[in-house]
Amino acid sequence: MSEQKTALVTGANKGIGREVARQLGRLGHKVWLGSRDEARGRKAEEELRAEGIDAHFVQLDITDAASVQAAVAHVEAHSPQLDVLVNNAGVGSGLMSPASTESLAEIRDNFEINFFGTVQVTQAFLPLVRKAPGARIVMVSSGLGSITLTGDMKAPTWNLAAMGYSASKAALNMFTVKLAKELLAEGIKVNAACPGSVATDMGGPTAPRSVEQGAAIALRLATLDWMGPTGGFYHDGDGPGIAPYGW
């Protein structure tokens, strides 16, 4: 019998993060639920455990170095390795503000969580990830971080503002490629996922995709076999495969 795989999902107390955790748990993974808010994290843990999932809350504020280090120590004390890291935690500030007037505070808020926080937590957990053969790292990005899509007048996102948010996700995409190149020889695959417009707190109740649909591509990238891609930016398209997104 093979050893149980272990996964950590940041921002796992709700939305896409909780659904990714649920699906990984259904595949047999032990899942750490990274959550800044303890009450919400404990509630998610309770709900997933009621479904038979091996879920465990860990307090994790990805922007707080002390919180990140404490989370690493806690996970390491209970799990010898980390097979999957899904960087889902994120924020969307200033989504309606034109680039010419968006406040620096809103822009910094996006970068602090979507980019710097994700880099911080990834670097901190990397020694534990390196202990797992064939580990997978997934960055939950956004189509708004695609310069190709942003410049396409025919794209449905043409009239959206969200400069700070978009730039933070574009930076996250660059981190994805650089890290994938660095870890290639170690067999660790690193990819970015675009979940699409999902009915979450950020996407709003009228968004066209469900959390199950939004979580699908992150799940696929988290469970790639040895022949799967690395250093890419993907969405799930309309079929069973994964479709590349333009950078």
For residue 165, indicate whether it is catalytic. Answer: yes
How far the first Cα of the chain sits from its last, in Å, is 41
CB-CB contact of 36 with 60 (8 Å): yes
From the candidates 115, 165, 234, 245, give the one annotated as an active-site residue: 165
> What residue has token string 């950020």?
202
Ramachandran region, residue 237 (left: φ > 0; alpha: ψ -120 to 50; beta: rest): left
Q: Which residue has the tokens 């449905």?
A: 156
Q: With beta carbons less than 8 A apart as the criterion, state whether 51 and 21 touch.
A: no
Token pair 């998610």 is found at 44
Residue 21 token pair:
């955790």
DSSP conformation letters of 121-181: HHHHHHHHHTTSTT-EEEEE--GGG-HHHHT-TTSTTTT---HHHHHHHHHHHHHHHHHHH
Query: Hunting for tokens 């010419």 — which residue is that?
Result: 100
Q: Which residues are catalytic?
A: 165
